[in-house]
Amino acid sequence: MRFWGIEVKPGKPYPYHADNVQGTLHVTQATLGLGSSTEKSILQCSTGRKNPVFLCSLLPNKTEACPLNLEFDEDDLVSFSVIGPRSIHLSGFFEAADGDELRDDYEY
Amino acid sequence: MRFWGIEVKPGKPYPYHADNVQGTLHVTQATLGLGSSTEKSILQCSTGRKNPVFLCSLLPNKTEACPLNLEFDEDDLVSFSVIGPRSIHLSGFFEAADGDELRDDYEY
Amino acid sequence: MRFWGIEVKPGKPYPYHADNVQGTLHVTQATLGLGSSTEKSILQCSTGRKNPVFLCSLLPNKTEACPLNLEFDEDDLVSFSVIGPRSIHLSGFFEAADGDELRDDYEY
Amino acid sequence: MRFWGIEVKPGKPYPYHADNVQGTLHVTQATLGLGSSTEKSILQCSTGRKNPVFLCSLLPNKTEACPLNLEFDEDDLVSFSVIGPRSIHLSGFFEAADGDELRDDYEY
Amino acid sequence: MRFWGIEVKPGKPYPYHADNVQGTLHVTQATLGLGSSTEKSILQCSTGRKNPVFLCSLLPNKTEACPLNLEFDEDDLVSFSVIGPRSIHLSGFFEAADGDELRDDYEY
């Protein structure tokens, strides 16, 4: 499986740590989830070493999707979270470090 | 043939599985299809293992096209579908794994 | 010459076939041409095997440029055309397959 | 650690110089920080050799995030700064030149 | 120096020809310069062989920045210019063809 996708919900930080897989995760798109609130929702990334960094800001009925180009390795320990009322869907793909054999273990 | 493109219509999920071809499909653009509805249309990707993930959200007369950067391998078994009233055109290119000989077999 | 650019005019499909050149054409940007019409213009790509696929949709005074990421090989035989009142400029670059010597022959 | 992110605050130029690390920094996204001002904020890059160059311009409630594709090497000595009232978050990733051993030294 | 940036001013075409450097210039972003005019500004590229090609179109207070993905080689002889009232800043990076030694000569 090369495709990767998650839904990050408000109030539920989503940790990412690829314990058992060698490779690089490419996060390439953020899309606003369903909901009626017209307040903006911000995606941020925490690393535990300093303040979270904003990755994008989605505005209902104006900008509901945003391309990203982020890469994470097996030694990255990060957490995605949302500031705002609506969830944000992230998608991208996983590039295994050496060959195909590890991809199926990757339960995203 | 390196260019790749499909139209995903509302109510007709489009499965993708490259059975006979070794290589990587790059899906790089989504564009809103024709129609008069001003409701938004969302592109989503299902993998059969959990909830679908939103890939982009297109707003008539505001944001009718959206760059993507998704990759799919021969062991990806996914389905694209649309939430909303209008179709979404996807385009990109196919990168064969080892040489040219397989490309012509790839009937997208 | 690595830079590549064309103008696709309404009613004049622009065929692309790199007969004498080995390499990959990267089409990376679409920009709305001059004109006073405020109707949208859609760029589409035809391959002769099925319906054309929309590549982007440009909205005057709202979204007049759109990044693309498309690749075409020497065995691609496609045609770009515009639905709508205004021309669309395409730009990108050409990557020769093996060295520099063929680039100068490439009269775009 | 492959992920990289900083917050550039108005009035506080952020110098970048990767003294002890061999590799390439990819800066791939800019996102508007929190605040109530509706004035635009511009990100610029100074190199000390001529006038600063604008990298993007973020408009509150219209365009609050912008993809970038910039690369910096260990011999780049630049400074990011903001013109305008709100901070700009930058994110991306660091690609070490030869292997993993230097990544942990990279205190971004 | 890997970072590259220029300001293209209205009425002052900016020629690009990397005489003494082997490598590829990646132009990846266009950002509207300062000014009070609300007319749009278009970036175009001339090659001397046919009509200029539009690379992007920037709309004040709507779309003031635009990602690009253009590459230029040492045998490209092009000129950037602006149609409209405000300058356009271009940024990107330079990739030397064979090693580091030529980079410092590159006075952008």
Tell me whether residues A53 and D28 touch, CB distance under 8 A: no
The confidence score (pLDDT) of residue A1 equals 79
Give whole-number Cα distances, E27 to A9, D32, D71, in Å.
Answer: 36, 23, 11
Residue among E42, E35, E15, E34 nearest E108 (CA)? E15
Q: Which residues of E touch D75 (CB under 8 A)?
A: 1-2, 100, 103-104
Tokens read off for A50: 């300093």
- D101 versus A76: the higher-pLDDT residue is A76
Nearest to A57 among D3, D65, D104 (CB): D65
Residue among A54, A5, A2 nearest A31 (CA)? A5
What CATH architecture applies to the domain C3-11+19-43+52-97?
Answer: Sandwich (2.60)
Query: What are the residue ranges in chain B where pLDDT is below 70?
Result: 18-20, 98-108
d(CA E83, CA A32): 36
Distance from CA of D1 to the nearest CA of E (A): 22
Tell me whether residues B65 and C66 touch, CB distance under 8 A: yes
Helix, strand, coil tally for chain B in percent (to 5): 5, 55, 45
Distance from CA of B31 to the nearest CA of C (A): 5
Instruction: Please tell me which residue of chain A has the smallest CA distance to D107.
Output: A49
Query: What is the fold, at CATH topology level, of the domain defined by B3-100?
Result: Jelly Rolls (2.60.120)
Q: Strand pairing partners for A30?
A: A66, A90
Distance from CA of D31 to the nearest CA of A (A): 5
Give percent of chain C above pLDDT 70.
87
Give percent of chain D above pLDDT 90.
71
Q: Which of D54, D62, D79 is most worth mutating to test chain E (most E CB atoms within 10 A of its CB)?
A: D54
Amino acid at B36: S
Amino acid at A33: G
Residue among C30, C28, C21, C15 nearest C1 (CA)? C21
Distance from CA of E62 to the nearest CA of D (A): 7
Q: Which residues of A touch D (CB under 8 A)?
A: 24, 40, 42, 45, 47, 49, 51, 53-59, 62-63, 66-73, 75-76, 78
Residue C16, helix vs strand vs coil: strand
Q: What is the layout of strands, in order, in the sheet containing B41-46?
A: B14-16, B78-83, B41-46, B53-58
Question: Model ipTM?
Answer: 0.91
Is the pLDDT at D107 greater than 90? The verdict is no
Other beta carbons within 10 angstroms of residue E46's beta carbon come to 17
Is the pLDDT at D18 greater than 80? The verdict is no
Residue among D66, D52, D57 nearest D14 (CA)? D52
Q: For the domain bounded by E3-94, which CATH number is listed?
A: 2.60.120.340
Q: Which of C49, C57, C77, C94 is most worth mutating to test chain B (most B CB atoms within 10 A of its CB)?
A: C57
d(CA E38, CA D108): 39
Alpha-carbon dihedral D12, D28, D53, D8, rounded to 10 degrees: -10
Is the pLDDT at C61 greater than 60? The verdict is yes
Q: How confident is the model at residue C100 (pLDDT cuts 50, 70, 90)?
A: very low
Nearest to D59 among E28, E64, E93 (CB): E64
Tokens read off for D65: 């995030």
Q: How confident is the model at residue A106 (pLDDT cuts 50, 70, 90)?
A: very low
HEC string for chain E: CCEEEEEEECCECEEECCCCCCEEEEEEEEEECCCCCCCCEEEEEECCCCCCEEEEEEECCCECEEEEEEEECCCCCEEEEEECCCCEEEEEEEEECCCCCCHHHCCC
Instruction: Please tell me which residue of chain B has the smallest CA distance to A64.
Output: B57
Instruction: Decide if domain A3-105 falls under CATH 3.40.50.720.
Output: no
- E49 versus D100: the higher-pLDDT residue is E49
**Cβ-based burial of A19 (10 A; exposed 0-12, middle 13-18, buried ≥19):** exposed
Tell me whether residues E64 and D47 touch, CB distance under 8 A: no
As a whole number, mean pLDDT of residues A38-67 equals 95
Tell me whether residues C6 and E53 touch, CB distance under 8 A: yes
The confidence score (pLDDT) of residue B99 equals 55
As a whole number, mean pLDDT of residues D93-98 equals 87
Distance from CA of A91 to the nearest CA of D (A): 16
Residue among D94, D102, D68, D77 nearest D14 (CA)? D77
Residue D65: CA count within 13 A, CB half-sphere: 29
Tokens read off for C72: 């075409």
Residue C105, helix vs strand vs coil: helix
- B62 versus E101: the higher-pLDDT residue is B62
Q: Are E32 and E41 in contact (CB under 8 A)?
A: yes
Q: Is C8 left (phi over 0), alpha (psi -120 to 50) or beta?
A: beta
Tokens read off for A91: 């998608």
Is the pLDDT at E27 greater than 50? The verdict is yes
Q: Which residues of E touch D57 (CB under 8 A)?
A: 31-32, 64-65
Q: Are A81 and A68 in contact (CB under 8 A)?
A: no
